[in-house]
């Protein structure tokens, strides 16, 4: 068996029939996207079947969600309670309480005016020697007391309009709200993970469970094959390897392909490898079963025979270089 150097490239597919002078043998490969959920559960709904074409965001499957839904409701209730506590701490006293304090302030201000008027009269009488000094001092003390009372009531009115709790208490309550909101976000994520959607446009290659089965955590339920994940691996003789480069345009053909598929080389294997037995004899492809599809590339099989054509002549060589992978 002759040795080849592997080249992984995005190339055009070819088949054994009607090989051109510039054709290189290879096969198509599919890189599947296996969709799973990180949590275990019973498969409640399977929205796709093998062979379906799905768009990005289409529902694929759902596991039972009773536990996660209950946890989400609990987290939402905890957040509502924490938020209510913060709102309560930020509020001032009730309106009726504030009105009562303001009424007391008005009464104190009226008493102050009366004490001021009485003090003036007593001072006039003292100047006329009708009353003693002790009487005047007593009125001055009452006036000072009433003035202090007014200042006290004004401070109580200002305090009544402030939040009930201190700033530290409010910050602690706000931290509880942030923690409850994070717990709710986590509960939402857990609930969303029980129902998976297609991450991109793709072909449903396989469904691995049926409705009613228990799905272990992390076990794939649906296998998808996006069009961009179809590659072609082809083999280049060693003496032609230098003519192949990453980004080089190529064309691919296969049995059943209506027309050549354009592509480009994306990777060149760094080490040589032996030519697969099927590549040694072109007739080997004819005996292998292949899926017949109308689409240009045989996407329903992990490996399908193909031929890649590039811009230079393909000369035979005893030692060959392994293939490049081609993608659509």
Q: In Å, how far from its chain's centre is CA 297?
A: 33
Q: Quick check: 252 and 308 in contact, CB under 8 A?
A: yes
At 54-104, the pLDDT tens digits run 999 999 999 999 999 999 999 999 999 999 999 888 887 777 877 888 888
Separation of alpha carbons 324 and 71, rounded Å: 50
What pLDDT is attached to residue 13?
Answer: 37
The pLDDT assigned to 73 comes to 96
Say if CB 250 and CB 264 are below 8 A apart: yes
CA distances from 131 to 136, 139, 162 (A): 8, 12, 47
Which range is most confident: 64-78, 113-127, 130-144, 307-321? Answer: 64-78
Asked whether residue 18 carries a pLDDT value surpassing 90, the answer given is no
Q: What is the pLDDT of residues 254-301, one digit of tens each?
A: 877 788 888 888 888 888 777 676 655 443 332 222 222 333 343 344
Q: What does 232-278 look like in DSSP terms, one character per residue?
A: EEEEEEGGGGGG--TT-EEEEE-TT-SS-EEEEB----SSEEEPPHH
pTM of the model: 0.60
Residue ranges with strand state E in the chain? 3-9, 23-30, 33-36, 41-46, 53-54, 59-63, 195-197, 202-207, 214-215, 220-225, 230-237, 249-253, 261-264, 272-274, 303-309, 320-327
Q: What are phi and psi of 2, to 5 degrees?
A: -80, 145
Confidence of residue 197 (pLDDT cuts 50, 70, 90): very high
In the predicted structure, residue 321 carries a pLDDT above the cut 50: no
Q: How many CB atoms lie under 10 A from the CB of residue 292?
A: 9
Task: Report all structural domains of the chain as residue ranges with CATH numbers, in order of start.
Answer: 3-34+226-327 (no CATH), 38-63+194-220 (2.40.50.100), 92-162 (1.10.287.470)
Q: How big, in percent rounded to 5, are the helix, strand and coil portions of the chain?
A: 40, 25, 35
For 82, list phi and psi in degrees, rounded to 5: -65, -40
């Amino acid at each position: 068996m002759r040795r080849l150097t592997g080249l992984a490239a995005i190339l055009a597919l070819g088949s054994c029939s009607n090989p051109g002078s510039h054709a290189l043998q290879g096969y198509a490969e599919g890189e599947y996207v296996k969709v799973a959920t990180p949590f275990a559960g019973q498969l409640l709904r399977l929205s796709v079947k093998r062979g379906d074409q799905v768009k990005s965001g289409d529902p694929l499957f759902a596991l039972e969600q009773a536990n996660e839904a209950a946890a989400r409701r609990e987290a939402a209730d905890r957040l509502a309670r924490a938020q209510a506590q913060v709102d309560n701490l930020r509020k001032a006293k009730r309106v009726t309480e504030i009105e009562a304090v303001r009424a007391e302030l008005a009464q104190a201000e009226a008493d102050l005016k009366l004490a001021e008027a009485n003090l003036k009269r007593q001072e006039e009488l003292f100047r006329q020697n009708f009353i003693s000094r002790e009487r005047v001092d007593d009125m001055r003390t009452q006036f000072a007391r009433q003035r202090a009372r007014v200042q006290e009531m004004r401070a109580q009115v200002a305090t009544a309009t402030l939040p009930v709790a201190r700033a530290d208490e409010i910050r602690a309550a706000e931290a509880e709200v942030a923690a409850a909101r994070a717990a709710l976000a986590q509960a939402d994520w857990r609930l969303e993970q029980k129902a998976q959607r297609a991450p991109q446009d793709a072909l449903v290659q396989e469904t691995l469970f049926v409705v009613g089965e228990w799905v272990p955590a992390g076990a794939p339920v649906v296998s998808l094959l996006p069009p961009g994940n179809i590659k072609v691996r082809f083999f280049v003789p060693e003496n032609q390897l230098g003519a192949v480069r990453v980004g080089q345009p190529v064309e691919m053909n296969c049995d059943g392909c209506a027309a050549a598929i354009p592509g480009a080389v994306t990777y060149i294997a760094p080490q040589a490898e032996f030519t697969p037995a099927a590549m040694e004899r072109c007739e080997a492809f004819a005996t292998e079963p292949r899926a017949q599809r109308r689409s240009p590339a045989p996407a329903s099989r992990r490996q399908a025979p193909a031929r890649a054509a590039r811009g230079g002549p393909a000369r035979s060589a005893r030692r060959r270089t392994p293939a490049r992978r081609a993608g659509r």
